[in-house]
Amino acid sequence: MDSRLTLEKRIEAEIKSYDGKMGIYLDDFHGNVIAIHADEAFETASSIKTYILACLFDEVEKGNKSLDDIIEYKVEHAVDGSGVLAALEPGAKLRVKDAATFMIIVSDNIATNMMIDYLGLEKINQCIKALGCRDTVLHNPIHFEQYDRLGTSTPRDYASIFIRLAKGELISPRADEMMLEILKKQHYNSMITKDFPSFYMDSDNTDDILISVASKSGSMDACRNDGGLVFTPYGPYAIVMFHKEFSDAMYYPAHPATVFGARVSRMILDQFLALEGRLLK
C-alpha cells in the first residue's frame, strides 16, 4: 500500500463525490488528529443538546442548580419533533435529571426547551464559552415556526466536549461519568454506527459488547450531524461528522449525508482496529 495514502486522503477521496460538505474531527488520544473543515460553522440541530447537558452539570457542580429540582412542562415549551413529552399535556412535572435524560436519549425537543428555560439561554451561552467552545452559540429555544436556526458550532468545538469527557476533564470526573452514562443510552446512532458490524455491538453474539458509543446526533433541513466517543477493546476515539450544503432537505435513512457519513465512520473504525488503537502509524 502506498504509504502516502493516509487516512485523511482516503476520507477525502471517499467524500469527493458527495453532494454536500462534511466537516470532520478525529482524535485517537495518542496524539493523532485528523481535521477536515473542522473550524467551519455548521448548524447544530440537536447536537446543541450536548452543550446544554454540559452546562447543566457545570451549574450543578457549582451548586447553582440541582438534578433533583422539579420543573414543569409549560405551554410555551410545546414544539413538534422528536421526543416523548409531546404525548403529555402541559402541567406535567419532571426532575431536572429526567428532563435532561429525555433531551439526550430520545432528543426530546420539549425537554430541551424546559432545560433552556431552567438554565437560561444567556447562562448556557456563557457556559459554552467558559468551556472553551468559542465558535458555538445556542441562538434560541426550539420553535420551528419562529426561528430558522437553533445553534451553530464547529466540528472542533463539538469534539472538544467529548475528548474532555473521556478524560474526565470537562466538569469533574464524577459529573463527566454521569454525562457519559446518559450519552451512551442515546437512541439515534444513525451515522456513526450505521455500517459497524453488528457482531461487535451485540452481546447475544459475543461474551460482551466489543464496541459501544457515547454520542449525540442532530438533523434539520440544513444539516445532518453526529459526534461522540467510540469505545473499543483498544481504547476510545473521538469522532465528529457535521454536514451542510447538500441539495436534498428531506429526512430519510438513506440520505446521502447519512450514507457517506456511515462509510467514513466505518473506514475510521477499521483503521483504528487495524492499528490497535491508533488512527495513524
DSSP state string for 47-76: GHHHHHHHHHHHHHHTTS--TT-EEE--GG
Among 24, 38, 26, 36, CA closest to 278: 26
State the architecture of 7-274 in CATH terms. Answer: 3-Layer(aba) Sandwich (3.40)
pLDDT at residue 120 greater than cutoff 70:
yes
Cell readout for 223 is 444539516
pLDDT for 54: 98
Identify the DSSP state of 271.
Answer: H
Among 281, 188, 225, CA closest to 45: 225
Phi/psi of residue 153, nearest 5 degrees:
-160, 180
Q: What is the 3-state secondary structure (H, E, C) of 149-206?
A: CCEEECHHHHHHHHHHHHHCCCCCHHHHHHHHHHHCCCCCCCCCCCCCCHHHHCCCCC
Evaluate if pTM is beyond 0.85.
Answer: yes
> What are the tens digits of pLDDT across the range 136-165?
999 999 998 887 789 999 999 999 999 999
Amino acid at 124: I
pLDDT for 5: 78
> What are the tens digits of pLDDT across the range 56-70?
999 999 999 999 999
Identify the DSSP state of 215.
Answer: E
Q: Is 30 helix (H, G, I), strand (E, B) or coil?
A: coil
Phi/psi of residue 226, nearest 5 degrees:
-155, 145
Identify the DSSP state of 138.
Answer: E
pLDDT for 281: 83
